[in-house]
């Protein structure tokens, strides 16, 4: 009895310690590329760091899209990428004996490099811990004191960095944000709101929008809306389409074919069938070659692996609903590939062209060879005192406190299918427009309004208009912003000041010292395809010949 009492006393004495929050200088929520680079830089600066990755499988989602199948880097102007981002691509290049950066790579190699970078800096990584959606952020005054996970674990920090694609920490901290498209009038833009015409990712003209052709009473095809939902240039709460990036191969020794999903719904692909009836000639999905007979397979044309319209509720959804949305995307996409390879309503030439492609069985082995990372092209976006818009992209407005560069096209994927003025189906929301040169990103786009929070930095869901975000939403840029956020965090800790009040001149000095590029001084051209003259990549025809 005495032994039992002593054990009980020990437990009671230890309980406060067990429940006590772990304290760090920098707490990073999100093990994306941006989060990893933030953690590496903060550690290099001598800060105690923890990176919390909320994914369900240990290591499964570490690295976000960079390890999740986005293997052909959307770099735009490669000379705009420096610092730890360039270090990452150089390390990947070393894996292939390139003697320089590799902009295309296998997902498992990217994951290997990230794990090596984390190990070198002895960074504490916590897996499978999601922030509690109910009172998950504990603030004292205008600062985050700690964040609480669903499990009850609590992490206390001096500075917090939200590096997630969703912006959950930012939202729970009470920071202002938006979802969807602003009207063009809000920031004096051209490509933001509902667009007039189809820019790219088109659908063929003349597709009947009704389940029973010519009969409105029979209802619309899945995901087809009765109209645009507003006037041209208006804003809305809709986000562009998501998909999964597939790592595929035609090597029978390393190939797993995609089977017909158990809950396959043929009606989901009626739009595709009718497109081929109207002369559809776009890619069904891309077969961009990477090393070792593999591909980075993204969406193709206007009717493709993008699940148009199914992403709208994702940004604000709870965890269960998001998981359902991810599963729905996976089911649709696997069904799409199976349909293209097997369905008798797909032209035989198309079926024969695509039927040799399956998933690479040495990739994503713990997730049945399917990427665990949904391509969340946009979610929440912070609204701060500084907002990057088309005006900065097209050099109409200067940047006061540059912390990095971006250079990719304004590149919005379709937002919706709807009935056009001619009474037929159209894809709306797809936009593409190149900037004249690499453009600067202001420190203000990663810092919340001071009145919202003084010790939070946001490196992915940054303060940007929808239009601008479609350009800067690229993995190298997330890495760049992650490194700059970590340097800023160290300065805020040193000066014991809000992140909004750090000395920019000192920030600039330190960014340049770690190799960050904050001004475009080169005349080199934009290069979207780095496979030219590279014997590492074979040539694959992009689409079948009819």
H or E segment to which residue 24 belongs: strand 22-29
Does the structure show a pLDDT above 80 at 536?
no
Summarize the confidence of residues 293-301 as an average pLDDT.
Answer: 95
Least confident of 82-86, 128-132, 201-205, 346-350: 201-205
The 10s digit of each residue's pLDDT in 449-494 is: 999 999 999 999 999 999 999 999 999 999 999 999 999 999 999 9
Confidence (pLDDT) at 17: 41
In total, the chain counts a number of residues equal to 546
Question: Residue 299, Cβ neighbours under 10 Å: how many?
Answer: 27
- Residue spans of beta strands (DSSP E) within 185-243: 224-225
**Is the alpha carbon torsion for 412, 417, 418, 423 positive or negative?**
positive
Does the structure show a pLDDT above 90 at 81?
yes
Confidence (pLDDT) at 281: 85
Q: What pairing do the DSSP bridges indicate for beta strands 381-382 and 177-178?
A: antiparallel
Does the structure show a pLDDT above 70 at 15?
no
Does the structure show a pLDDT above 60 at 59?
no
Bigger pLDDT: 10 vs 28: 28
Give bridge partners of residue 28 from the DSSP assignment.
Answer: 51, 161
Q: How confident is the model at residue 303 (pLDDT cuts 50, 70, 90)?
A: very high
Confidence (pLDDT) at 544: 66
Confidence (pLDDT) at 8: 46
Q: How confident is the model at residue 299 (pLDDT cuts 50, 70, 90)?
A: very high
Confidence (pLDDT) at 61: 73
Confidence (pLDDT) at 533: 42
Radius of gyration of the chain (CA): 24
Summarize the confidence of residues 221-225 as an average pLDDT.
Answer: 98
Confidence (pLDDT) at 14: 42
Question: Residue 436, Cβ neighbours under 10 Å: how many?
Answer: 10
H or E segment to which residue 131 belongs: none
The 10s digit of each residue's pLDDT in 177-202 is: 999 999 999 999 999 999 987 566 78
| Closest residue by Cα to residue 336 from 303, 302, 379, 385 | 303
Summarize the confidence of residues 27-45 as an average pLDDT.
Answer: 98
Structure tokens belonging to residue 523: 């005349």
**Using CA atoms, how far apart are residues 380 and 426, in angstroms rounded to an integer?**
26
| Closest residue by Cα to residue 108 from 360, 347, 363 | 363
**Using CA atoms, how far apart are residues 53 and 463, in angstroms rounded to an integer?**
23
Structure tokens belonging to residue 320: 């269960």
CB 511 within 8 A of CB 480: no
**Using CA atoms, how far apart are residues 344 and 431, in angstroms rounded to an integer?**
33
Does the structure show a pLDDT above 70 at 542?
no
Least confident of 256-270, 501-515, 530-544: 530-544
**Using CA atoms, how far apart are residues 546 and 542, in angstroms rounded to an integer?**
13
pTM: 0.94
Written as one string, the DSSP assignment of 291-315 is STTBEEB-B-SSSSSS-TTTTTTTT
Summarize the confidence of residues 59-85 as an average pLDDT.
Answer: 91
pLDDT above 90 covers what percent of the chain? 87
Does the structure show a pLDDT above 60 at 47?
yes
Least confident of 13-22, 161-170, 402-411, 415-424: 13-22
**Is the alpha carbon torsion for 505, 507, 510, 511 positive or negative?**
negative
**Average pLDDT over the chain, rounded to whole?**
92
| Closest residue by Cα to residue 60 from 120, 105, 111, 95 | 111
Summarize the confidence of residues 221-229 as an average pLDDT.
Answer: 97
Written as one string, the DSSP assignment of 389-411 is -HHHHTTSS--SSEEEEE-PPEE
Q: How confident is the model at residue 16 (pLDDT cuts 50, 70, 90)?
A: very low
**Using CA atoms, how far apart are residues 456 and 160, in angstroms rounded to an integer?**
5
Confidence (pLDDT) at 420: 93
Burial (CB < 10 A; 0-12, 13-18, 19+), residue 385, is: middle
């Amino acid at each position: 009895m005495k032994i039992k009492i002593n054990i009980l006393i020990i437990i009671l004495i230890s309980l406060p310690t067990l429940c006590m929050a772990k304290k760090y200088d920098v707490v990073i929520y999100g093990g994306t590329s941006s989060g990893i680079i933030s953690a590496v830089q903060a550690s290099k600066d001598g800060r105690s760091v923890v990176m919390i990755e909320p994914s369900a499988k240990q290591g499964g989602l570490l690295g976000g899209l960079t390890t999740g199948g986005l293997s052909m880097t959307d770099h735009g102007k490669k000379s705009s990428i420096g610092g730890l981002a360039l270090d990452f691509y150089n390390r990947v290049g070393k894996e292939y004996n390139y003697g320089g950066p590799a902009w295309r790579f296998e997902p498992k190699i990217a994951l290997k490099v990230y794990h090596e970078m984390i190990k070198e800096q002895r960074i504490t990584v916590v897996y499978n811990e999601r922030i509690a959606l109910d009172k998950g952020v504990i603030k004292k005054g205008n600062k985050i004191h700690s964040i609480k996970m669903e499990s009850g674990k609590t992490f206390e920090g001096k500075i917090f960095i939200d590096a997630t694609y969703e912006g959950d920490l930012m939202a729970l901290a009470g920071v202002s944000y938006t979802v969807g498209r602003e009207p063009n009038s809000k920031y004096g833009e051209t490509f933001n709101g509902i667009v007039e015409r189809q820019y790219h990712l088109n659908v063929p003209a003349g597709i009947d929008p009704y389940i029973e052709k010519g009969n409105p009473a029979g209802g619309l095809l899945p995901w087809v809306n009765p109209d645009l939902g507003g006037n041209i240039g208006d804003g809305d709460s809709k986000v562009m389409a998501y998909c999964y990036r597939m790592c595929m191969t035609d090597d029978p020794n390393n190939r797993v074919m995609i089977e017909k999903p158990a809950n396959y719904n043929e009606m989901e692909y009626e739009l595709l069938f009718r497109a081929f009836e109207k002369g559809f000639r776009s890619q069904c999905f891309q077969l961009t070659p990477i090393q070792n007979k593999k591909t980075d397979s993204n969406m193709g044309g206007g009717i493709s692996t993008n699940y148009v319209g199914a992403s709208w509720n994702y940004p604000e959804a709870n965890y269960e609903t998001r998981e359902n949305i991810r599963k729905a995307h996976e089911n649709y996409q696997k069904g799409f590939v199976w349909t293209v390879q097997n369905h008798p309503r797909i032209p035989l030439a198309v079926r024969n062209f695509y039927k040799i492609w399956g998933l690479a069985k040495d990739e994503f082995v713990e997730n049945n060879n399917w990427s665990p990372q949904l391509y969340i092209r946009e979610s929440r976006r912070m609204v701060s005192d500084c907002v990057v818009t088309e005006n900065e992209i097209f050099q109409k407005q200067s940047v006061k406190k540059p912390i990095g560069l971006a250079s990719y096209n304004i590149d919005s994927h379709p937002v919706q299918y709807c009935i056009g003025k001619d009474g037929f189906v159209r894809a709306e929301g797809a936009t593409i427009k190149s900037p004249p040169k690499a453009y600067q990103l202001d420190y203000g786009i990663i810092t919340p309004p001071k009145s919202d929070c003084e010790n939070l930095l946001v490196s992915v869901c940054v303060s940007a208009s929808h239009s601008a975000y479609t350009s800067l939403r690229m993995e190298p840029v997330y890495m760049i912003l992650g490194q700059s956020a970590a340097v800023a965090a160290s300065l805020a800790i040193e000066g014991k000041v809000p992140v909004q009040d750090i000395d920019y001149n000192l920030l600039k000095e330190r960014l340049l010292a770690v190799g960050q590029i904050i001004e475009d001084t080169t005349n080199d051209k934009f290069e979207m395809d780095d496979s030219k003259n590279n014997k590492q990549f074979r040539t694959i025809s992009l689409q079948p010949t009819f």
